[in-house]
Amino acid sequence: MSLRYHLIYYAVACLLGVLVMLIHPVFLVLLIIYAFFIIRHFGWGRLVTIGLVMIFFLVFIRWPQPTDEPIISGYIISRDEKSIVLKTTKTKIKVYGEFIGYEVGDELEIEVNYFEISRATNDNAFDYRNYLYSQGITNNASLLRLINSQKHNTLFQKLQKRIDGKELVNSYASMFILGIRDEMINDYYHQLTELSIVHLFALSGLHIHILRRLIKKVLIFLLPEYLINYLSLIIIGVYMYIIPYNISFMRAYLVMLLMTLFKKYLNQLDCFSLVAMFFVFMNPYIIYNLSFVFSYFMYLIIILINHHRYLNEIVYGASVPIVISIQYRINILSLFLGIILTPLISVLYQLLWLYVIFGNFFKPVISLVIEVLDNIVVFSTDFSFFINFSKPSLFFILGYYYIYFKLIVKINIKQRIHREILLLLSLMIMFYFKPYYQTFGQVVMIDVGQGDCFFIQQPYNQGNILIDTGGLRNKDLAALTLVPYLRSVGVFKLDHVFISHDDFDHSGAYQSLADQIEIGHTITSYQDKFKIGQVEIEILKTPESTDNNDSSLVLLVTINKLKYLFTGDISNAVERQLINDYPELKIDVLKVSHHGSNTGTSAAFLNAIKPKIALISCGKDNYYGHPHDDVITRLNDYGVKVYRSDEMGMVKIVYYGNDNYIFNDFND
């Protein structure tokens, strides 16, 4: 059997192999199922061939290779205010430091100091290492000294200077032509992300097809068609060489190139498969690149559907699990916005190219188009309606796409698809109500660095509680950590938020959190006992104090027969008072006060309350030296099991029925 029309089967096998190695061994089950599929449709011979190709692929695949060379040299491929990305002969390195006066394309020889790339320490959190690896960047480093430099007047720099300016037209030109966003457009870009239409504005395969059509329109009066096809590819190739690397652009260009050169031997799906295998082979971590996943998957769907009257709607359906996995919600308007804005974006992109080539003559028209575009975005932002979800499980994703691809098959053979549409809608409705039939609850120590933040999620959506919010001076902790995690577990409203005291590391993220998540009640002072769902909360009385730490709320929380004591930042003096006032106080889980400082957690206190588990929330390598060695020693002496966020990241106590389980997924 010829490989024509069958390269997709080799690509799927290689991709599943990478998923087994990088994501989870559970994908081995899918690989086995896929093997049976190949046997059934093509026989054992084809399975052996695909298997050998996959083994060769996985053996010789190019894994990222971090370097440890103190002196490196290369040229700048991208930069921002704080760092550059330097491409060496072996890898790419992100270097932080002052690089004033240096631009993309300049060569540098520098001495650097390497530091660890941070990993995700909370469930469903952004993993910075995987993100850098997906870009081909293997090291983080700081600049020690500049040894040598050589400036180059590159074509990119010339193009950048041509569209440089403080007007909105220039910002759009920079975004659409160079793929670079400036400060003027960053907030606007955030709005586009919220509306789930950012892919229309990010430089992608859509734009390269628009550019090729524009080139053909210009050259049609000068050259025969067959020459135009080749010349357009050459022009686009030069353009891609000039601008910073863009994976969606590269995918579209390589597919077009292969289709033009090998049209007699390969179809569009074959070309797509070869390109996908090439990118994964060169860097398997590219599967963590959202541009790669979204661009390639959407393009695959377009190939499979070909031309259809409801193409936009069908492609939108394919994107739903991906959008939910990223944003944990769907904007109902995004489908209609995509249909409305695509032709407008096409016009704008072509006008921007005419502006770059011919100058200010086209600026008034572009300004008008941008104004129309901005008004649509503002209107859509004001009237957006979101449907909230939690992070999709693998079961949901596999189930969704199994039904979806059955729908595509029926579309291609012109059969009725009502059953598949109903099944997809039913699956979405079941997934939407997941928090209401979730049978387990959890008490979570969220890793917020040097601070406190504890989250209680009850089964069957009986109530969500947050104790302290944490806070970072140089970052928006709520936007970066708290909100994404809460949304990932299906929480879009907090019924109660308790703030132990107003130190920034306990309450600093509150306002940003309140702006993004609905909060029912906020408790900052002593009140009577609470019962929220099945959770009982008693605020223990402590003596009034002028010391902010000693004014912390002390919460006795009872959940599923376990007693938790949240102590804020109280000192030994408050602990002694608690022993006197509550002589029968016995607990199971202690939130160690003041991040493990030696000002608290006395031997007398431990002897009185007799905890079995201690939770210490503190930042890795923090300035204060928390937790103190004496505190750790005391806890160990009393047989208390210690869980620390600085070493373990997020820690969860999950309760199901009458049982409680402790999970820590990030303990190295």
Mean pLDDT of 134-150: 94
The whole-angstrom separation of Cα 521 and Cα 496 is: 5
The whole-angstrom separation of Cα 77 and Cα 97 is: 16
The whole-angstrom separation of Cα 552 and Cα 456 is: 19
Tell me what percent of the chain is helix, strand and coil, each rounded to the nearest 5. Answer: 50, 15, 30
3-state secondary structure 537-603: EEEECCCCCCCCHHHCCEEEEEECCEEEEECCCCCHHHHHHHHHHCCCCCCCEEECHHHHCCCCCCH
The pLDDT, as a whole number, for residue 158 is 85
The pLDDT, as a whole number, for residue 511 is 96
Residue 561 backbone zone (phi > 0: left; psi -120 to 50: alpha; other: beta): left
Q: How confident is the model at residue 5 (pLDDT cuts 50, 70, 90)?
A: low
pLDDT in tens, 308-354: 777 788 888 999 999 999 889 998 888 888 888 888 999 999 999 98
Let me know how long the chain is.
668
Q: Which two three-digit tokens encode residue 98?
A: 């002052």
pLDDT in tens, 415-429: 888 999 999 999 999
- Distances in Å between the Cα of 28 and the Cα atoms of 16, 21, 404 are 8, 9, 22
The pLDDT, as a whole number, for residue 636 is 96
pLDDT higher than 90, residue 115: yes
The pLDDT, as a whole number, for residue 2 is 53
Q: How confident is the model at residue 33 (pLDDT cuts 50, 70, 90)?
A: very high
The pLDDT, as a whole number, for residue 334 is 85
pLDDT higher than 70, residue 667: no
The pLDDT, as a whole number, for residue 4 is 61
Identity (one letter) of the amino acid at 17? G
Query: Under a CB-based contact definition with an 8 Å cutoff, are residues 349 and 207 in contact?
Result: yes
Q: Which two three-digit tokens encode residue 37?
A: 């599929």
Q: Determine which of 283-292, 443-452, 590-599 has the lowest per-residue pLDDT on average.
A: 283-292
The whole-angstrom separation of Cα 265 and Cα 259 is: 9
Q: Which two three-digit tokens encode residue 470?
A: 């944490």
Q: Which of 259, 248, 277, 255 has its CA nearest to residue 12?
A: 277
pLDDT in tens, 623-655: 999 999 999 999 999 999 999 999 999 999 999
pLDDT in tens, 167-188: 888 888 888 888 887 777 777 7
| Angle, CA 147 vertex, CA 143 and CA 148 arms, to 5° | 120
Burial group, residue 82, by CB count within 10 angstroms (0-12, 13-18, 19+): exposed
Q: How confident is the model at residue 665 (pLDDT cuts 50, 70, 90)?
A: low
User: What 8-state DSSP symbol labels residue 659?
Assistant: E
Burial group, residue 544, by CB count within 10 angstroms (0-12, 13-18, 19+): exposed
Please list, in sequence order, all residues whose beta carbon lies within 8 angstroms of the beta carbon of residue 10, skipping any fewer than 6 positions away.
Answer: 50, 53, 54, 273, 277
What is the DSSP pairing of strand 535-540 with strand 441-445? unpaired
Q: How confident is the model at residue 519 (pLDDT cuts 50, 70, 90)?
A: very high
Identity (one letter) of the amino acid at 166? K
Q: How confident is the model at residue 3 (pLDDT cuts 50, 70, 90)?
A: low
Query: Under a CB-based contact definition with an 8 Å cutoff, are residues 449 and 470 in contact?
Result: yes
The pLDDT, as a whole number, for residue 245 is 80
Look at the block and give the residue holding tokens 């407008």: 344
pLDDT in tens, 548-595: 999 999 999 999 989 999 999 999 999 999 999 999 999 999 999 999
The whole-angstrom separation of Cα 546 and Cα 479 is: 32
Q: How confident is the model at residue 1 (pLDDT cuts 50, 70, 90)?
A: very low
- Share above pLDDT 90 across residues of the chain, in percent, rounded to a whole number: 62
The pLDDT, as a whole number, for residue 668 is 46
Q: Which two three-digit tokens encode residue 438?
A: 């979730």
Beta partners for residue 597, in sequence order: none
pLDDT higher than 70, residue 482: yes
Look at the block and give the residue holding tokens 């299906």: 490
Strands ordered across the beta sheet of 454-457: 518-523, 493-498, 464-467, 454-457, 441-445, 651-656, 659-663
The whole-angstrom separation of Cα 346 and Cα 631 is: 63
The whole-angstrom separation of Cα 170 and Cα 175 is: 9
Residue 270 CB neighbours (<10 A):
22
Please list, in sequence order, all residues whose beta carbon lies within 8 angstroms of the beta carbon of residue 12, skipping any fewer than 6 positions away.
Answer: 34
pLDDT higher than 70, residue 221: yes
pLDDT in tens, 498-514: 999 999 999 999 999 99
Query: Under a CB-based contact definition with an 8 Å cutoff, are residues 605 and 594 in contact?
Result: no
pLDDT in tens, 361-386: 888 999 999 899 888 888 888 888 88
Mean pLDDT of 67-91: 92
**pTM for this prediction:** 0.89
Q: Comparing 57 with 385, which gets the higher pLDDT?
A: 57
- Distances in Å between the Cα of 125 and the Cα atoms of 253, 422, 486 are 33, 32, 11
- Mean pLDDT, the chain, rounded, equals 91
The pLDDT, as a whole number, for residue 265 is 86
Q: Which of 401, 394, 439 has its CA nearest to residue 420?
A: 401
